[in-house]
């Protein structure tokens, strides 16, 4: 590894200063989302034009600071710095910088954004000095290469994702986004279709996630996709792969009867059953398949797993509220102890005009915060409640 400045070594008890250093502290503490907010909400030019901050971010692995902050003065130096970490043992490098081969190591998982995480590694020397890094350098390299127009091949991006085999990491997701966003969507789909048969289940998962993403916003090769996905759904054994295959097949298929999806309603993994429940919305959209969809959703609403029950209840409430089975299911789950199910039951009762249920749902939403998914559900329930009341009110002129 090339010798780099010791930007990551701090004296014992060192505290970040104001301004740009606060961004550094936010990233070091794992507050990736907050760091992004700070960058986007009126920071002074001195902070936005801090070259050293950007070089530090590339060295530290602070993807959340670098994202959307590239410019002609820092991009190539950041790429060189981040590349120097690829393939290097981060613990050994931190100990080298500290000059202490026995420095004590701490590892923790930290968020990068709302969906992804990375690992934060800190090494503390015997004299109290410490050095810290986040292991997001591959994501940074991938991100910068794409912006410079020198992106790696699809195979290389897959290989980068498979190095730590963590589908929730920013290294994995940045590779996946880069593959999905290639200009030739058909070529990307055909590449992914080939990888769907790879003996490595993690490689198949990566490819399935790419296909699912393509199915949502581009839908290349629709007829071939349905054929390939139908065949893979019949033989795929890995639950994590199946989840994305089911989603992709449903997106390509559209509203209607989905026997290939419903065939997995009794899969042993609750994540698969939950995905099946979610995709039943498409079956419930088509008059000819409503009954079949409602029957499967009703069974899943009695599933042993709370996530599955909650998803099935939500789909029935949103897409088949007037079907007789929906009222039966809401009533049957009224005392469900799972909080996720409880929310869906309360929302269903509010849609039927139950003011007390709405008030309880609103209380829970206020506790969760105004930006929470629960608050969005409560807001929707408020509108449903008003519509239910309006439907039952008798106009004054009617005798």
Q: Residue 1: its pLDDT value, please?
A: 41
3-state helix/strand/coil string of the chain: CCCCCCCCEECCCCCCCCCHHHHHHHHHCCCHHHHHHHHHCCCCHHHHCCHHHHHHHHHHCCHHHHCCCCCCCCHHHHHHHHHCCCCCCHHHHHHHHHCCCCCEEEEEEEECCCCCEEEEEEEECCCCCEEEEECCHHHHHHHHHHHHCCCCCHHHHHHHHHHHCCCCEHHHHHHHHHHHCCCCHHHHHHHHHHHCCCCCHHHHHHHHHHHHHHHHHCCCCHHHHHHHHHHHHHHCCCHHHHHHHHHHHHHHHCCCCCHHHHCCCCCCCHHHHHHHHHHHHHHHHCHHHHHHHHHHHHHHCCCCCHHHHHHHHHHHHHHCCCCHHHHHHHHHCCCCCCHHHHHHHHHHHHHCCCHHHHHHHHHHHHHHCCCCHHHHHHHHHHHHHHHHHHHHCCCCCCC
Q: Which mean pLDDT values do the consecutive 10-residue runs of the chain (399 residues) have?
A: 61 52 54 59 58 84 84 86 96 97 95 91 93 94 96 98 96 98 97 98 98 96 98 98 98 97 98 98 97 98 98 97 96 95 96 95 94 93 90 54
Confidence at residue 40, expressed as pLDDT on a 0 to 100 scale: 67
pLDDT of residue 178: 98
pTM: 0.89
């Amino acid at each position: 590894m090339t010798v780099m400045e010791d930007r990551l070594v701090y004296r014992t008890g060192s505290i970040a200063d104001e301004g740009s250093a606060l961004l550094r502290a936010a990233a070091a503490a794992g507050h990736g989302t907050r760091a992004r907010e700070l960058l986007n909400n009126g920071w002074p030019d001195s902070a936005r034009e801090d070259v050293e901050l950007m070089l530090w971010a590339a060295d530290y692995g602070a993807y959340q600071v670098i994202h959307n902050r590239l410019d002609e003065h820092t991009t190539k130096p950041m790429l060189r710095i981040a590349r120097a970490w690829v393939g290097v043992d981060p613990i050994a490098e931190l100990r080298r910088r500290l000059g202490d081969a026995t420095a004590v190591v701490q590892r923790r998982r930290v968020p990068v954004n709302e969906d992804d995480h990375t690992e934060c590694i800190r090494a503390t020397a015997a004299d109290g000095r410490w050095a810290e890094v986040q292991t997001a350098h591959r994501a940074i390299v991938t991100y910068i290469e794409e912006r410079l127009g020198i992106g790696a091949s699809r195979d290389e991006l897959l290989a980068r994702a498979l190095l730590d085999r963590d589908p929730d990491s920013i290294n994995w997701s940045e590779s996946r986004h880069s593959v999905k966003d290639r200009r030739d969507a058909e070529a990307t789909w055909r590449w992914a279709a080939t990888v769907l048969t790879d003996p490595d289940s993690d490689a198949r998962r990566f490819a399935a996630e790419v296909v699912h993403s393509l199915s949502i916003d581009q839908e290349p090769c629709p007829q071939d996709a349905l054929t390939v996905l139908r065949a893979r759904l019949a033989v795929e054994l890995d639950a994590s792969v199946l989840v994305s295959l089911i989603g992709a097949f449903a997106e390509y298929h559209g509203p209607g009867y989905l026997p290939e999806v419903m065939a997995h309603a009794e899969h042993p993994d609750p994540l698969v059953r939950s995905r099946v429940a979610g995709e039943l919305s498409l079956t419930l959209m088509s008059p000819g398949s409503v009954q079949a969809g409602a029957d499967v959703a009703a069974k899943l609403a009695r599933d042993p797993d709370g996530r599955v029950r909650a998803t099935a209840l939500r789909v029935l409430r949103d897409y088949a509220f007037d079907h007789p089975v929906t009222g039966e299911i809401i009533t049957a789950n009224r005392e469900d102890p799972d909080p996720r199910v409880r929310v869906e039951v309360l929302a269903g009762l509010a849609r039927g005009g139950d003011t007390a249920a709405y008030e309880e749902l609103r209380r829970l939403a206020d506790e969760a915060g105004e930006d929470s998914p629960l608050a969005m559900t409560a807001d929707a329930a408020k509108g449903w409640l008003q519509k239910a009341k309006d439907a039952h009110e008798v106009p004054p002129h009617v005798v």
